[in-house]
Structure 1
Amino acid sequence: MMHAASRALAAGADFGILGPDTIQLDVDVPVVAVNAVRTGCGKSALSQAFADELDSRGRDVAVVREPMPYGDLTAKRVERFATEADLDGLTVEEREEYEDHVAAGHVVYAGVDYRAVFDRASEEADAIVWDGGNNEFAFAVPDYHVVLVDALRPDHGERYHPGEANLRRADAVLVTKENAASDEAVETASDVAARLAPADAPIHHSDSVVHADDPERIADRDALVVEDGPTLTHGGASHGAGYVAAADGGAASLVDPEPYAVGEIADVLDEYDHLDRVLPAMGYSDDQLADLAATIDAADPDVVVAGTPVDLDDLVDVDAPVVRAHYDLELRDATPSDLLDAGLDR
């Protein structure tokens, strides 16, 4: 980043980093913000749990996401998604973030002009859950701010911006995926959280429990794993729920997609060379989707295990059957209701 700053300064421009107090907007209704130190920590699962809990308490809830509009930004100044039909025409990356919320019955807002986004959301909702895609600052002043730390990437809480800043402003911290990590990694992630988060921020612990829709279709089959794209690419993760479901389901082998990758998918695998026997679900364009489908068919697996939140069958037509893998966020020492009570009663 400072190389870019140096170029700007040399050209005579100023270079600055805007902080939360500058960018965050005041909103008329309570805001529960879920952020993380990296993308792929499990924010959406906790956001959905909070939205479900608030809904069960009789609140009208809106979920607000970070900006993800592609195409005509003027037309997408304020976006509202409430039905499956509202998701038609979106990229894979957008659908990955919105689809589960919509399926759970929650209205999702996003867009370009976040003053207008929050105004619209607060007109129909009396509580907002900020689902902080990637690891961006919350765009609204939160009444309660929970930050997630991934035990599978235990030192990332102090290695990336703005994730570290999020951690330093947390009202509570949740260490995730502890069941999939070593004791040493869990200890490291917890130590980073304890060292950087405010002293009065409680640190909670959780597991990510993976399950497949049709596990019997995985056993003894050659499986190609397709995962959430951003988690594997700029998130730096080695795998996701699909890999775990394939391994736990007794797949005969995990197919390496790299020899079969074509077009932009081949470029992605070449760029992110830490990936091993997993395929990121890239779909920012029709060309990428076509390359994704061609790569899957060329690999000729017995089954595709899809750990991406989006329904892959709806987006690409491939020869192999697709088994979806999901994960449930299970807190060890509290419930989402407990967290909300502690946060909103502060």
Structure 2
Amino acid sequence: TTRRVASVLKGLGLKVAAIRHPMPYGDLVKQKVQRFATYADLDLHECTIEEREEYEPHLDTGVIVFAGVDYEAILREAEKEVDVVLWDGGNNDFSFYKTDLLIAVADPLRPGHEIAYYPGEVNIRMADVVVINKVDTANAEDIVKVRENVHAINPNAIVIEGASPIYVDDPEAIRGKRVLVVEDGPTLTHGGMKIGAGWVAARRFGAAEIVDPRPFAVGEITATYKKYPETGCILPAMGYGDQQVRDLETTINSSDVDLVVIGTPIDLTRVMKIEKPSQRVRYELEEIGKPDLEDILKKMLNK
């Protein structure tokens, strides 16, 4: 959703930067203010896979990302360069800044979460706009449940529904293959999801089999499966440290499969050598109906 907002604003001729919520995995003094404009900056700041998953999709579209520790200093640096600052929050905080427009996302694949968790519910209650995404893959009754929950706690919010279509460079490469599906780690573990975009793509494009990666898991990946046994037949891309990245690489390359389907937000081949053929899965937000995000953003800018 943040990428969609950035795209609209750039289309209106505005300079945009995303400020990402804190991800304090390293030296906090060195991380006071971080600026990411190129993929090389990710290496310079020694980013984990989890950090890269948040920053890289913005870099893919030419949006500068700021992050770090001192969020006043970060804001002042961003304001020097751009017309509009986007607070790109995670699922465990709300905006550190007073916003002109607050957009929250509710996931119908996790119905009820929008009113069951802090601070997610806070974001829904404060939101000017609530986007219900993934309506092309969610059950109709779950979409209705989320819509009703949002209305119950924030009846004044504008609700936008959107599809989250998936894209694969070569869908035919998946057909008939025995595949390993790699998904965003936090989504599968503490995020409570059992599938992701990679699993959807493998099913949709005719994979012969989604191979269970657990027999091939090593080291910290084995430990992740023990801690989160419900993760099942999908490989979570854990990478909070160098050892996890190496164990993930070994697990992928040891798997007895024809193809790796990568559903992570980042290009894993930038941080490891994958020896097997692979296809990367991407998804974007496509709003359904009116008003859409462009209408709402134009109205905000014209105030």
Does TM, scored on the shorter chain, surpass 0.5?
Answer: yes
In the alignment, structure 2 segments of 5+ residues that lack a partner are: none
Query: CA 1:192 to 1:342, structure 2 compared with 1: closer, same or farther past 3 Å?
Result: farther
- Which residue number corresponds to residue 76 of structure 1? 31
The match for 1:66 is 21
SS at match of 1:180: coil
Query: Does the Cα contact within 8 Å between 1:208 and 1:330 map onto a contact in 2?
Result: yes
Deviation at 1:121, TM superposition (A): 0.6
Do the aligned partners of 1:173 and 1:202 also contact (CA within 8 Å) in 2?
Answer: yes
Q: Which residue of 2 aligns with 1:208?
A: 164
What is the CA–CA distance in structure 2 between the aligned matches of 1:328 and 1:135, rounded to whole Å? Answer: 22
In structure 2, the residue matched to 1:310 is: 266
Alignment equivalent of 1:248, drawn from 181, 193, 204: 204
- The one-character-per-residue Cα deviations of 1:7-55 (angstroms, maximum 9, x if unpaired) are xxxxxxxxxxxxxxxxxxxxxxxxxxxxxxxxxxxxxxx1111112212
TM-score (norm 1): 0.84
Match of 1:185 in 2: 142
Rounded to whole Å, the distance in 2 between the matches of 1:234 and 1:270 is: 13
In the TM superposition, residue 344 of structure 1 has moved relative to its aligned partner by 4.3
Match of residue 232 from structure 2:
276
C-alpha RMSD of matched pairs (Å): 1.3
**Which of 7, 18, 32 lines up with 1:52 in the alignment?**
7
Question: Are the aligned partners of 1:282 and 1:292 in contact in 2 as well (CA < 8 Å)?
Answer: yes
How far apart, CA to CA, are the structure 2 residues paired with 1:154 and 1:343?
29
Q: How far apart are the structure 2 equivalents of 1:332 and 1:135?
A: 27
Give, in angstroms, the shift of residue 135 of structure 1: 3.8
Pairwise CA distance, 1:69? 3.7
Shift of 1:312: 1.1
What is the aligned partner in structure 1 of residue 254 from structure 2? 298
**In the alignment, which residue of structure 2 is the partner of 1:14?**
none
Q: Quote the Cα distance in structure 2 between the aligned partners of 1:59 and 1:344.
A: 11
Contact 2:102–2:127 (8 Å) recurs in 1 = yes
Q: 1:235 aligns with which of 191, 203, 225?
A: 191
- Once the two structures are superposed, residues 126-165 of structure 1 have per-residue CA deviations (whole angstroms, 9 ceiling, x without a partner) of 2111111224101111100011100100111111110011
Q: Does 1:288 align with 2:244?
A: yes
Shift of 1:60: 1.6
- The 1-side partners of 2:54 and 2:25 are apart by 14
- Give the conservation status (yes or no) of the 8 Å contact 1:69–1:112: yes
Residue 342 of structure 1 deviates from its aligned partner by 4.0
Q: Is the 8 A contact 1:143 1:344 kept in 2?
A: no
1:293-337 residue CA offsets vs partner (Å, 9 max, x unmatched): 111122221111001011111222232112100112111123331
Name the amino acid aligned to 2:74: V
| Count of aligned pairs between the two proteins | 300
Residues 171 and 343 in structure 1, CA contact (< 8 A), matched pair in contact too: no
Gaps of at least 5 residues in structure 1 are: 1-45
Provide the secondary structure at the position in 1 that maps to 2:206.
coil
- Give 1:151's aligned amino acid: P
**How far is 1:341 from its partner?**
2.5
Give the letter aligned to residue 193 of structure 2.
A
CA contact (8 A) 1:255 1:301 kept: yes
User: In 1, Cα distance between the equivalents of 2:299 and 2:136?
Assistant: 25
Q: Is the 8 A contact 2:91 2:120 kept in 1?
A: no
Matched with 1:166 is 123
